[in-house]
Chains A and B, each alone.
Chain A
Amino acid sequence: TSSETTKDEL
């Protein structure tokens, strides 16, 4: 789901 998108951005 979108909320679990790993925060891969700085």
Chain B
Amino acid sequence: MNVFRLTGDMTHLASILVLLLKIYATKSCSGISLKTQELYALVFLARYLNLFTDFISVYNTVMKLVFIGSSLAIVWCMRMHKMVKRSYDQELDTFRHYFLIAGCFLLALLVNEKFMFPEVLWAFSIYLEAVSTIPQLVLLQRSGNVDNLTGQYVFLLGAYRALYILNWIYRYFTEPHFSRWIACVAGLVQTALYADFFYYYFLSWKNNAKLQLPS
């Protein structure tokens, strides 16, 4: 564990806490894409299958349970909670995320570290996470004004993977046989997708203005 990875995990956890805070405090999920939340739940379920088979550390197990539990709770909330689901931007959240799932699964069958069920699922979860944020970014562009908590949520979500890239660079130079090229390439794509959001987020912070994404 290095400082980049720990900061990355804490940033990821913070993004989930901000999202939970927004939904709980405002009883609203406006500006949040249910499709992105469903994709993230799928990412965690596909990636953490080894939760009960390979024990890495207490930290690892606890964080996996938190990520799986929170992503499922958010999806449940946005689908079932009568107050919350009323504020869901159903007509704006129309990105066909099933194509993302199919595409990532096909890619995982072709490109993986080893053609074994756990490895294919792991690669699938890595590729899917890289594109999971697309429905959310599309929704933000369509909904124009972004409330603070939603903006912070998306910013933290993008920042965590950027910190993971620093972690991979650090591990590459410090560990002899370290190779995570699948996660690295997908992580670069994932972070690049946030590039324009980061730009407008920085502008809104610099000008102390409301976050506006050009539609």
Contact = CB atoms under 8 A, between A and B. Distances in A.
Interface of A: 2-10
B54 A6 contact: yes
A9 B179 contact: no
Contact of B113 (A2, A8, A10): A2
Given A10-B9, A10-B67, A5 B179 contact: yes
Closest 7 CB pairs of A and B: A3-B114, A3-B113, A2-B179, A8-B56, A10-B63, A10-B9, A6-B54
A1 to B, nearest CB: 8
Interface residues of B, number: 22
B22 to A, nearest CB: 22
Given A2-B177, A3-B113, A3-B119, A9 B12 contact: no
B121 to A, nearest CB: 11
A9 B67 contact: no
Contact of A6 (B12, B56, B167): B56
A7 B50 CA distance: 9
B197 interface: no
Candidate in A6, A8, A9 with the most chain B CB atoms within 10 angstroms = A9
Interface string B149-192: 00000000000000010010000000001111001000000000
Nearest to B164: A9
A9 B56 CA distance: 9
